Amino acid sequence: ESVLEGYNGTIFAYGQTGCGKTHTMMGGTDEQRGIIPNAFLHIFGVIDDQQNLGQGKNFLVRCSFIEIYNEEIRDLIGKDSKKKLDIKESKEKGVFVRDVNQKIVKNTTEIEHCRKVGEENKSVAATKMNNASSRSHSIFTILIETSEKNEAGEEVIKAGKLNLVDLAGSERQSKTGAVGARLEEAKSINLSLSALGNVISALVVGKHVPYRDSKLTRLLQDSLGGNTKTVMIAALSPADYN
């Protein structure tokens, strides 16, 4: 709901490989919806309620879905999901991904379709700890613009952004048995997770925040710290092996 008021926010699950992060964020059947599908329902439910009140509010909702694979950014709902995209920065937009697709969506059906298309294009592979291990970090971003007139009759526009992040899990090579490409993926995953941990630690103690240490933290720069709202879900495995 804060996103509808113009705030930026991030929700992500953090933990080692195979402990249920993707299930937490994406879910399974309709009875086991994850955080991301539930966020869709909640956002469009609030929008419908606001519009039914007849207060003159108008909403524009867009979404994008990217993955960060071996520090390369890919558009999961674009025409070429393997094409490498670049991070850019401007005074008007802040940090953004150049040429990323942003789909206009009008209801939960349309935004859920974008999620499913992106899920089919994600990089996954089997390791000894997980038959369908995420080999990349994925970020589903919902951008919401709200327009209404103030008491002076002037149109006021608020823009908020919600990043819903499915992180790849931290890995220990001795457990996963990763070799070759899987091992290189694991190295990249662990480095970016370490960078994320360093950013969070720096925000807590109030020192210089090293956002530029990874593509993941760079993209989340405007949605971590300050007056933004961040939720981290710690995913823990009950297995003795872990």
Query: Which tens digit of pLDDT belongs to each residue from 77-116?
Result: 998 888 999 999 988 888 899 999 999 999 999 999 999 9
Q: Where are the beta strands (DSSP E) in the chain?
A: 8-14, 58-69, 72-75, 87-90, 94-97, 103-104, 124-127, 130-134, 137-149, 155-166, 229-234
Distances (CA, A) of 1 to 40, 41, 133, 144: 11, 12, 32, 11
Give dist(CA 69, CA 185) in Å, integer.
8
* Residue 127: pLDDT over 50: no
* Residue 141: pLDDT over 80: yes
* Residue 132: pLDDT over 60: no
Give dist(CA 146, CA 83) in Å, integer.
32
> What are the pLDDT digits (tens) for 21-54?
888 888 877 778 899 999 999 999 999 998 888 7
Residue 43 in 3-state DSSP? helix
Token pair recorded at residue 152: 């002076």
pLDDT-based confidence at residue 168 (cuts at 50, 70, 90): confident
pLDDT value at residue 222? 85
Please give the DSSP secondary-structure letter assigned to residue 34.
Answer: -
Give dist(CA 153, CA 138) in Å, integer.
41
Closest CA to 38 of 106, 111, 104, 102: 111
* The model's pTM: 0.85
Name residue 75's beta-bridge partners: 66
Name residue 14's beta-bridge partners: 234
Q: Over pLDDT 90: what percentage of the chain?
A: 39
Task: Please compute the mean of the pLDDT values over residues 58-85 and round it to a whole number.
Answer: 91
